[in-house]
Amino acid sequence: MPIIATQGLTMRFARVTALDDLSVAVEPGVVGLVGANGAGKSTLIKILLGLLPPTSGTATVLGLDIAREGLRIRESVGFMPEYECLPPDVSATEFVVHMARMCGLPPTAARERAADTLRHVGLYEERYRPIGGYSTGMRQRVKLAQALVHDPKLVFLDEPTNGLDPAGRDEMLDLIRRIGAEFGISVLVTSHLLGELERVCDHVVIIDGGKLLRSQAVEAYTTESGVLTVEVDDGRDTLGQHLHDQGVTVHPEGRFLVVDIAGEQTYDLIRDGVADLGLRLIRMEQRRHHIEEVFQAGPAGPAGPPAPAGAVQPGAVQPGAVQQGAPR
């Protein structure tokens, strides 16, 4: 059963269509929802939580109808909102216990679950300090803890890496991966950074202007490319010249040679060249595309069908559009 399924979901505000006939279904796992600022990500989450009725269309979350079963959806789903929503003068423990009580847990269970959850997100030592003195990364972890405290089957994380430095972003991405892999909780995580979702997601949905651009397993975006990376211990240029003389298209890139694959014989030529020249081969591997290359390549990118007319081409992003610069 899909964890989320929408059919023709449309949301019109007075001046803007935030979602435009969106039909998509995703299976359990860690699912990325990527789009530029204003693409409609937060609007979709609010509709899926049953908090905002769509203009038209239908959707289910965990098999529950958003129009009729919003309360049951919110019982089974955790939500980490994008914007700051934390009281500064209470501790993380007080806040997360309060949120657990709001979800219906009895007092003792609420305290135990809050302590467990704060430990999981790496805030155990700091849990009695007032939230007002926390760093941005710590506040993001409190927001994550309150989304997990009632043991949901699915969590919606709206831009959880916002405002974090590279180290904080890496830690948050690791936490998200653990939520999916170790706790078995499905995740819908939004970001405007393509690269960072590739690291943690099983599946990525891309929307632009409220329309679906693509919905695919991560591997489908990162299909193998037509080039080999070759590394030898001392002798990069000698081997490069040798392969060139054999008619192989090759160019240097850092310590490596990047070789176009022109059939099985390319592998044989590299093997023979390395042997004939008496070099030591360290690696020879086929490169995989990164998700962002799908967009750098434009509408006829390497991983699939052309984007629909009018779609943002993130290879030529405008400020605020889908960005490719996620650190790895």
Ligand X SMILES: Nc1ncnc2c1ncn2[C@@H]1O[C@H](COP(=O)(O)OP(=O)(O)OP(=O)(O)O)[C@@H](O)[C@H]1O
Tell me: does residue 323 bind ligand X (CB under 6 A): no
Whole-angstrom distance, CA of residue 141 vs CA of residue 128? 14
List phi, psi (to 5°) of 127: -70, -20
Least Cβ distance, residue 321 to ligand X (angstroms): 11
**CB nearer ligand X, residue 140 or residue 222:** 140
Shortest Å, Cβ 252 to ligand X: 40
Helices (H), 103-225: 107-120, 136-148, 166-181, 194-200, 218-221
Q: Is 313 in the site for ligand X (CB under 6 A)?
A: no
Reported as type and span, the H/E element at residue 238 is helix 236-245
The CB density around residue 167, as the number of other CB atoms within 10 Å, is 10
Query: Would you count residue 39 as binding ligand X (CB under 6 A)?
Result: yes
Tokens for 144, please give them.
């994550």
Which of 37, 58, 238, 324 is the binder for ligand X (CB under 6 A)?
37
Contacting ligand X (CB under 6 A), which of 2, 29, 38, 122?
Answer: 38
Q: Which pair of tokens denotes residue 33?
A: 């929802």
Residue 42 or 323 having the CB closest to ligand X: 42
- Choice between 40 and 70, CB closer to ligand X: 40
* Separation between Cα atoms, residue 239 and residue 274, nearest integer Å: 7
Number of residues forming the site for ligand X (CB under 6 A): 13
Which one of the spans 13-21, 108-116, 149-157, 276-284 is the region binding ligand X (CB under 6 A)? Answer: 13-21
Q: Tell me: does residue 10 bind ligand X (CB under 6 A).
A: no
| Beta strands across the sheet bearing 4-12 | 17-26, 4-12, 56-61, 64-65
User: Does the protein bind ligand X through residue 213 (CB under 6 A)?
Assistant: no
For ligand X, the closer of residues 48 and 142 by Cβ is 48
Interface segment toward ligand X; rule CB under 6 A; list 30-38, 126-134, 232-240, 303-311: 30-38
The interface with ligand X within residues 150-179 (CB under 6 A) comprises 159
CA atoms of 171 and 204, how far apart (whole Å): 20
Distance in angstroms (rounded) separating the CA atoms of residues 269 and 328: 33
Rg (CA), the chain: 24
| Pairing mode, strands 211-217 and 64-65 | unpaired
Shortest CB 61 distance to ligand X, Å: 17
Question: For ligand X, which is the closer residue by CB, 83 or 128?
Answer: 83
| Cα 235 to the center of its chain, rounded Å | 39
41 binds ligand X per the rule CB under 6 A:
yes
d(CA 10, CA 207): 13
CB-based contacts of 116, cutoff 8 Å, min separation 6: none
Binding ligand X by CB under 6 A: which of 3, 6, 24, 40? 40
Residue from 18, 99, 228, 259 in contact with ligand X (CB under 6 A) = 18
Q: Which of 28, 32, 35, 70 binds ligand X (CB under 6 A)?
A: 35
Q: Which residues in 66-125 contact ligand X (CB under 6 A)?
A: 82
Given the rule CB under 6 A, which of 33-41, 142-150, 269-277, 305-313 is the region that contacts ligand X?
A: 33-41
Q: Which residue, 159 or 171, is less far from ligand X as judged by CB?
A: 159
How far is 230 from 258, CA to CA, in rounded Å? 6
Which parts of this chain interact with ligand X (CB under 6 A)? 13, 16, 18, 35, 37-43, 82, 159
